[in-house]
Structure 1
Amino acid sequence: MASTVIAPVCGGDGARTALSQGRHGLTVGVEEEFLLVDRRTGLPVARGPGVVKAATAALGEQVQAEFFSAQVEVCTRPTAGLAELRSELALLRKVMGDVAASEGCLLVATGTPVIPPERPPTVTPGERYGRMAARWPSLVGSYDGMVCGCHIHVGVTGHAQALALANHMRPWLPTLQALAANSPFSLGRDSGWASRRSVEYARWPGVGPAPPLDEAGYERLADHLVKTGALLDRRMIYWYARPSEHVPTLEIRVCDVNADLDVVLLLTALVRGLATALLAEIGDGRPPPDPPAGLLHVAHRLAARHGLAGEGLDPARGEYVRALALTERLLVRAAPGLAAAGDLELAEELFHRVRGSGGGAARQRAAHLRRGRLRDVVGDLVRTTAAG
């Protein structure tokens, strides 16, 4: 296997550099997108470019600008160890939180703004972002367009392996989405969704479940989407599981960013465990599951609606099941891969901890319920984001 490289995995308009398969199994990396909010009002503030510029001295390419100027992004280096991953995520959050404070704002890990901005958000200056804003102006001028995700990368050997994994992982991604749900508030009210980010993000072209493809099929479809103008470029292929265009990774893009690092670590462990288990089956020639596209969309919609709190759908079996039961199935499915990486005990501990809390959406709603104040929700998110 290839040795592990040490460059970060950031996307955006910056460079995206390689993950690989290390001696101890699949390497992983995480990208986290954050909101910047005013320290007094909790409203999003357009200070991203200044925060990124100030943080670059310490973090280099591990900090990037995001599409809206009230957002920033950080990315880890690839690692084979979850303890190292957690330490790096905590350090990145601390540095960014300190820099944000020096710029008069606070760092918040939430999928959507709890309190809406007073005016439509501004787009971060840049040639590519400018072209995107010009082509899809209706998606840019809305108050609820700012969304923040957590993207998990798994090192692969190339596009062929990434696509094979994506094909086999399709039925499990709604359950990951439910575990990660952390955006119940939008436009200053409870939206009724556990992951409102999923709804708003899906307004962009290129967002959704990945179609089952081999490498040749991917190349044809990617070329078609760009040539016909459906997408600006291949980087706008925002499928829930996609091969990187720049480095050998499979990127899982279905998760909300979460303030609680336990959730981030659990999601990463499950993604790697599932990928490890599935690679063995792919090597044995087992065909991928092929759930109907309609069922897959329903499963993602239920995950976004309820998170861990209600009913979900197992698209592979075509049966409605409580979301908590689906998370148990996912843990069992990933267990061989978790054990191979030495992560099973930690994953089980984190799994029960996250399930007991109800996840990010439940925590946000509980913070609001105490006094009915949205600023309390923001305050809890700020504290949890910084606690890393």
Structure 2
Amino acid sequence: METATESNEISPELAAQAEQDDLHTLGVEEEYLLVDAVEPRAAEVVDEVFAQLPAELRAVVQHEFYRSQIEVASPPQLDLGALAASLRGLRAEVGAAAERAGARLVAVGTGPAAGPNARIVDNDRYHLMRERFGDLSPGPGMCGTHVHVSIPDPETGVQVLNHLRPWLPILQAATANSPLFGGRDTGYSSWRSMMWERWPTVGPAPYLRSHEHYLTLVADLEASGAMLDEGMLYWYARLSASYPTVEIRMGDVMPTADDAVLLAGLARALVATLVREVRAGTPAPDVAHPLLVAAHWRAAHDGLEGLNIDMATRQPRPTGRLLRQLVDYVRPELERHGDLETVTALWGRLREHGTGAARQRALLAKGGSVSEVVDWLAHATRSGDNPS
């Protein structure tokens, strides 16, 4: 569940350019569901898909927990356009491999259709997780998006985590893409989020006094048995165990590469803005942990189309307005990184079409079936098209 491959190490040239210009690199990990070529049910074909992958891709594609899942990781990038091209290419190549294996690649938070629970991948660590934690996540698997943004040092990274806490429910709402599970509407925009919260280390990061405090908490959680290692620290934002990055990881995988690029661009601009606040000595907002938990629940329930909590007033407001507030807040860093035009265009598309959850429900409202929803998701995963 923690991606670490040599191909995703930042090149010395890119690192030098980022340091010289005081810019932040970013990378994206996406987890996908594999479904049958005809039926909407999940298919345990990850090994068959791997056998169909071009050799040069196998360093950036991984197994996930279940045999009906697969994960990709983009190389670190400075340019948002290059990241977009990388994600589209990965989706196309892995999708083509899935088709050759008699399946389809679907970017969705968890399985929309009914079907048997998937088996876990034959991996020593996954078997140990199952033995320790039991059946915490039955079904075909839970598929998320993780955005890595580079940081200058771990101490700054920890302070950025403190500043991130009130913003993450808004980003989570924008990623909602799992309203259906087992063939029915769950009443949530992100049912994956509710299933994911069963794991003992999932949730908002606590307020952290220092990097030393962070490391102490990691060690204490390992000693408690609540996680096997640092890779199982499933806070909604954390320091990566493998890279010099902050990893933002609270969202569903989204239907299109454009959706993922929008999240990545906003995440980088937000982290860059917060690094500047940390350097300026601005204290992190004092947000009560129960209120953060409530805001993340609201994000999972309502998605972007409903309400969430304005942390400044502690009152519910339309989440779309809160996202606009976030965009305005990070605009200087969007401009400085050259991302403003792209993010503005993609944000406009999100406002027009809605989240993945809203798009799925719109298809159902027009008389579509769960099978047709899965057909659209499979098409959108590779082509980026939205339902008309």
Provide TM-score, normalisation by structure 2.
0.93
Q: Tell me what 2:314 maps to.
A: 318
Change (3 A) 1:127 1:97: same
Q: Tell me what 2:379 maps to.
A: 383
Aligned partner of 1:230 among 226, 236, 244: 226
Q: Tell me what 1:132 maps to.
A: 129
Structure 2 letter corresponding to 1:68: Y
Query: Equivalent residue of 1:384, what SS?
Result: helix
Aligned partner of 2:85 among 74, 84, 87: 87
Change (3 A) 1:175 1:65: same
Structure 2 letter corresponding to 1:113: G
Once the two structures are TM-superposed, the CA of residue 62 in structure 1 deviates from its matched residue by: 0.5
Query: Equivalent residue of 1:171, what SS?
Result: coil
Output the CA distance in 2 between the equivalents of 1:82 and 1:43: 34
- Paired residues for 1:206-225 under 5 Å: 206-213=201-208, 214-225=210-221
Output the CA distance in 1 between the equivalents of 2:311 and 2:48: 44
Q: Tell me what 2:2 maps to.
A: 11
Output the CA distance in 1 between the equivalents of 2:102 and 2:319: 40
- Paired residues for 1:217-366 under 5 Å: 217-366=213-362
Structure 2 letter corresponding to 1:345: E
Query: Equivalent residue of 2:366, what SS?
Result: helix
Output the CA distance in 2 between the equivalents of 1:93 and 1:15: 20
| Contact 1:12-1:65 at 8 Å conserved across structures | no
Aligned partner of 1:76 among 74, 79, 83: 74
Output the CA distance in 2 between the equivalents of 1:151 and 1:22: 23
Aligned partner of 2:156 among 161, 164, 171: 161
| Contact 2:256-2:382 at 8 Å conserved across structures | no
Output the CA distance in 2 between the equivalents of 1:22 and 1:59: 28
Say yes or no: does 1:204 pair with 2:195.
Answer: no
Once the two structures are TM-superposed, the CA of residue 267 in structure 1 deviates from its matched residue by: 0.6
Query: Equivalent residue of 2:250, what SS?
Result: strand
Higher mean C-alpha displacement, 27-36 vs 221-230: 221-230
Query: Equivalent residue of 2:59, what SS?
Result: helix
| Contact 1:13-1:128 at 8 Å conserved across structures | no
Q: Tell me what 2:27 maps to.
A: 29
Give CA-to-partner distance per residue, 1:33-57, whole Å, 9 cap, x none. Answer: 0000001111101111221343261
Once the two structures are TM-superposed, the CA of residue 371 in structure 1 deviates from its matched residue by: 2.4
Output the CA distance in 2 between the equivalents of 1:323 and 1:37: 32
Output the CA distance in 2 between the equivalents of 1:234 and 1:17: 19
Once the two structures are TM-superposed, the CA of residue 253 in structure 1 deviates from its matched residue by: 0.3
Once the two structures are TM-superposed, the CA of residue 235 in structure 1 deviates from its matched residue by: 0.7
Output the CA distance in 1 between the equivalents of 2:261 and 2:368: 30
Once the two structures are TM-superposed, the CA of residue 385 in structure 1 deviates from its matched residue by: 0.5
Higher mean C-alpha displacement, 20-29 vs 195-204: 20-29
Output the CA distance in 1 between the equivalents of 2:368 and 2:329: 40
- Paired residues for 1:367-378 under 5 Å: 367-378=363-374
Output the CA distance in 1 between the equivalents of 2:58 and 2:20: 27
| Contact 2:42-2:111 at 8 Å conserved across structures | yes
Once the two structures are TM-superposed, the CA of residue 364 in structure 1 deviates from its matched residue by: 0.8
Q: Tell me what 2:186 maps to.
A: 191
Query: Equivalent residue of 1:113, what SS?
Result: coil
| Contact 1:37-1:106 at 8 Å conserved across structures | yes
Once the two structures are TM-superposed, the CA of residue 83 in structure 1 deviates from its matched residue by: 0.7
* Structure 2 spans left out of the alignment, 5+ residues: none
Provide TM-score, normalisation by structure 1.
0.93
Output the CA distance in 1 between the equivalents of 2:91 and 2:20: 28
Output the CA distance in 1 between the equivalents of 2:107 and 2:317: 29
| Contact 1:66-1:124 at 8 Å conserved across structures | yes
Output the CA distance in 2 between the equivalents of 1:55 and 1:346: 31
Count how many residue pairs are aligned between Structure 1 and Structure 2: 376
Give CA-to-partner distance per residue, 1:143-167, whole Å, 9 cap, x none. Answer: 3x61100100001133222211111
Give CA-to-partner distance per residue, 1:108-127, whole Å, 9 cap, x none. Answer: 0000111132x221000111
Higher mean C-alpha displacement, 181-190 vs 316-325: 316-325
Query: Equivalent residue of 2:50, what SS?
Result: helix
Once the two structures are TM-superposed, the CA of residue 60 in structure 1 deviates from its matched residue by: 2.7
Change (3 A) 1:235 1:268: same
Give CA-to-partner distance per residue, 1:155-206, whole Å, 9 cap, x none. Answer: 1133222211111111000000011111110111011111111101111121
Q: Tell me what 1:63 maps to.
A: 61
| Contact 1:12-1:66 at 8 Å conserved across structures | no
Output the CA distance in 2 between the equivalents of 1:49 and 1:383: 22
Q: Tell me what 1:39 maps to.
A: 37
Structure 1 letter corresponding to 2:229: D
| Contact 1:291-1:316 at 8 Å conserved across structures | no
Output the CA distance in 2 between the equivalents of 1:205 and 1:15: 30
Say yes or no: does 1:102 pair with 2:100.
Answer: yes
Query: Equivalent residue of 1:371, what SS?
Result: coil
Structure 1 letter corresponding to 2:320: L
| Contact 1:68-1:123 at 8 Å conserved across structures | yes
Higher mean C-alpha displacement, 50-59 vs 338-347: 50-59
Structure 2 letter corresponding to 1:122: R
